[in-house]
Amino acid sequence: MKMKKVTAPTMPEAMKKIRKELGSDAVILNSKVTYTGGFLGLFKTKQIEVVAGVDQPEPPAAEQTAATAERQVVKEEDKKLEEEIQELKKMVSALTVNQTGYQDFPQSVRSILEKLKDQDFKDSWLLETGQKLYDQWQETPKTEQLTEWAEDYIRTSLQQQTHAGIDASKKYISLIGPTGVGKTTTIAKLAAKLVMEDQKKIGFMTSDTYRIGAIEQLKTYAELLNVPLEVIYSRDDFEKALTRFKDFDHVLIDTAGRNYREVQYVEDLAKTIDFEIDIQTFLVLSMTSKYKDMSAIYERFNDINIQGLIFTKCDESVTVGPAYHVMTESGIGAAYLTDGQAVPEDIEEASYRRVSEMMVKGVNS
């Protein structure tokens, strides 16, 4: 990692220097206030000292040493081995299907369960669903209705959650979640709809001070929408921003992504933003994530009062099982679905009809 320490009178000026030296992918590692100059301890000048770093690109192939080339060969062999392991896992999974009760169901039921398994629905849920379908089939042996029964079971379980977007009575709306799920783009889409369609007076806050590019991205959206942006580094900054935005209809709060596995990340988030105020918080998840990842992310942020889930990259995912299980197990419904980068077009408010429609596609795939 290439590191650089800069000093400047203000944080924005320090960040400008960092972007010039390291680029927009730089990550702030440390920052502090220092004082220089003065006479007999008086008239000192306040300075912001920032240490930042950026990952350096790999050297070109021509500069690789023999040892590096050898490691590359080993890496390729490891990749091939990993592919073989994944293939074996699929074979074992297929055998498991035949050894856990699936073989007791008629072929018509098994064919539906196989489609759902391809959508990454959990094995325990598949067995439960298979039993329900089989019981109905025994009472009413109409094979042509099995698909409809499976869809009804999925729809019924989704009715237990509330699927809705922003609560108009909530002034503060925050988006939390891991890095890479598209929080900043999503918050821009929500803001554009509030400004352009609902004629609301809104403001932006961001606590994502770890990635230089993130602030610039949100700043660009703020300028396009002609709305103010406050960058918050501490709870004190947050309180001051609340005062500035006291006459606004809504304030949208973007947060840093970072590695959700770091407990310190969630603790720092709660120290900076007061989630005890009248705030509506959405957890942003990528539809391309596996169930274990989605579940772990939800558990990590569970101490924060989450009112809804936002699923991004719906157009990039081929499976719906993980999202289904996170909703049904957490009891929290979907708020929004996004399927592209266009602002504000590629977002839609979730509803029971739309969510169930997306989930049952696994039965018909």
Share of the chain above pLDDT 70, in %: 83
d(CA 282, CA 277): 15
Q: Which residue has the tokens 């942003």?
A: 284
Domain of 103 in residue numbering reads as 99-158
The answer, as to whether pTM is greater than 0.85, is no
Are residues 211 and 243 located together in one domain of the fold? yes
> CA 298 from chain center: how many Å?
10
pLDDT digits (tens, 9 = 90+) for 45-76: 778 888 887 776 655 555 556 656 666 666 67
Judged against a pLDDT cut of 80, whether residue 122 lies above it is answered with: yes
Task: Tell me: cis bond preceding 344? Omega within 30 of 0 counts.
Answer: yes
Q: Is residue 315 part of a domain?
A: yes
d(CA 171, CA 250): 4
Q: How many CA atoms lie within 13 A of 331 on its CB side?
A: 2
pLDDT digits (tens, 9 = 90+) for 237-248: 999 999 999 999
For residue 306, the model assigns a pLDDT of 93
The SS3 call for residue 105 is: coil
Are residues 301 and 177 located together in one domain of the fold? yes
Q: Which of 1, 32, 38 is nearest to 14 (CA)?
A: 32
Are residues 246 and 346 located together in one domain of the fold? yes
- CATH number of the domain that residue 273 is part of: 3.40.50.300
pLDDT digits (tens, 9 = 90+) for 85-101: 777 766 655 555 444 56
Are residues 354 and 210 located together in one domain of the fold? yes
Mean pLDDT, residues 182-188 taken together: 91
Are residues 154 and 188 located together in one domain of the fold? no
CA distances 272 to 68, 139, 287, Å, are 43, 58, 28
Highest mean pLDDT among 36-40, 67-71, 326-330: 326-330
pLDDT digits (tens, 9 = 90+) for 225-276: 999 999 998 999 999 999 999 999 999 999 877 666 666 777 888 888 998 8
Q: Is residue 86 part of a domain?
A: no
Judged against a pLDDT cut of 90, whether residue 336 lies above it is answered with: yes
Kind and range of the H or E element at 69?
A: helix 66-99
Contact (Cβ atoms closer than 8 angstroms) between residue 67 and residue 16:
no
Residue of higher predicted confidence among 30 and 200: 200
Give the type of residue at 261.
R
Residue of higher predicted confidence among 330 and 270: 330
Mean of per-residue pLDDT scores for the chain: 84
d(CA 337, CA 353): 13
Mean pLDDT, residues 166-192 taken together: 92
Query: Phi/psi of residue 174, each to 5°?
Result: -120, 150
For residue 333, the model assigns a pLDDT of 95
Are residues 210 and 284 located together in one domain of the fold? yes
Q: Which of 353, 272, 337, 266 is nearest to 306 (CA)?
A: 266
